[in-house]
Amino acid sequence: MVFSKAEFLYYFLPITLLVYYLTPMPGGSTRYRNLTLLLASLVFYAWGEPKYVFLMAAQCASAWVFGLLIHRYRAKSKALMLLSVALSLSGLLFFKYANFFLTNVNHVTGAGLPLLRLMLPIGISFYTFQTMSYTIDLYRGNVEVQRNLFDFSTYVVFFPQLIAGPIVRYIDVADALGGRRHSLSQFSRGARRFIIGLAKKVLLANLLGELVDIFKKGDDKSLLFVWLYLVAYTLHIYYDFSGYSDMAIGLGHIFGFSFPENFNYPYIADSITDFWRRWHMTLSSWFRDYVYIPLGGNRVAPLRFSLNILTVWMLTGFWHGADWNFMLWGLYYGVFMLIEKHLLGAWLERSPMFVRRVYVFLCLFVSWTIFDGNGLQDTLTTLTGMFGLGGGGLAGREALYYLRSYMVPILIGVFGSTPVPKRIAQTLSHKKAFLVVEPLALALLLLASTAFIIDGSFNPFIYFRF
């Protein structure tokens, strides 16, 4: 089940909200409401993948038990923490990467090992990182042990952030699990955020995704169409993922939780380093705190520092998918981080903002080509076409037709990826008319999104495969 489906919007969510707010809070305790959220989240997950509920439950129970052991046996806490992390990673490595390793062993040795018939459990990359962060933080003394299995399971499987993030650490929600307040203003803020995220996903990401799909399936590989594809995909992946994050954060508010932000207008970045301070921020901070710093961070010799950067970014790419394209994508960013650190940093600071933005977008277009490529050959074909070396000419009929057809959503997408709309809304929020205009605008966005959903239009979600 995904948020941008009618069964979620008009069946699952209303029923869950009704049951949740009817669940009593004796003495202000949220324990019963946590149990309601846990049961609803299990239904949400089982809706699409019932057999993998048991895998997720086992991982929850394992991390919870190890948490108790780490708390009780401090002398052996490091060994217990490492064992817990290994067990959490084992499921991810098996389901997500087993066939990748088997394929490459077969390619190198000709062994002919049969591939496993496995489907990737939805959300496993996210909830694995959540359980790992809990036991690591507990070992470090950053969080208190959670003695209630149901409360801990609610943290791990809570449906708003279960399948696509943001990556929520236990420390982010520990207080709210124990007791939280609900208010109409918080509910309204959450509903507003959810509707905006839904509109970003359905009205922009899906529409731009159609253009991406058309380019991939079509024969026109002219220079214009390649660049039209690059712009469309760059906007598509942003609105797809940030829209889903907005919906998750909004739902968190509705149920009394405060999730960390995941995006901060990444396309206004003036360097690649700045871009990754703004894009998928919870993933970047996770790798920083649990991989980069334990490796020594930047407090090591220059060669070791470079190795740390490349290791972290290779793992970041590999986290996104079991394919060489993703590893190349991660290393690509690692190399640019080092280039900016040692060579380009001072030049970028002296350069006009326009030059910095052009530099960032050229880097991003290449990176998204690698990320979206179906194998290295497909990536190379698109990259050569990007620089006019693909032999497709300057502009074919299809390219001109789709440029006219999708110009409006592209322009809206470019405008919406900047802070300008938010600033306009903040300025208008002081006007009395805004009290009427905002609810009406949100209702229209919800109505339009519903119409697109019911119409059965293009509605995939990129990060499901991660």
Cβ density class 308-326: b for 16+ within 10 Å, e for less: bbbbbbbebbbbbbbbbbb
Taking CA atoms, 105 is separated from 97, 102, 113, 272, in Å, by: 12, 5, 8, 34
Whether 320 sits among the annotated catalytic residues: the reply is yes
Which one-letter amino acid corresponds to residue 7? E
d(CA 120, CA 95): 6
Q: What is the DSSP string of 397-440?
A: HHHHHHHHHHHHHHHHHHHHTSSHHHHHHHHHTTSTTHHHHHHH
CA angle 275, 315, 65 (to 5 degrees): 115
Catalytic residue among 236, 253, 280, 320: 320
Q: Which of 163, 168, 186 is nearest to 5 (CA)?
A: 163
3-state secondary structure of 198: helix
**CA pair distance 108, 101, nearest whole angstrom:** 11
- Cβ-contact 248, 164 below 8 angstroms: yes
CA angle 278, 283, 288 (to 5 degrees): 95
Chain centroid offset of residue 329 CA: 16
Q: Among candidates 122, 118, 192, which has minimal Cα distance to 161?
A: 122
For residue 247, the tally of other CB atoms under 10 A from its CB is 27
Considering only the C-alpha atoms of the chain, give the largest distance between any 2 of them, rounded to a whole number of Å.
72
Residue 228: closest CA among 457, 354, 409: 409
Which tokens go with 386? 């990007």
Q: What is the residue-wise DSSP string for 271-319?
A: SHHHHHHHSSHHHHHHHIIIIITTTTTTSS-HHHHHHHHHHHHHHHHHH
Contacts of 353 (CB under 8 A, 6+ apart): 270
Positions marked catalytic = 320
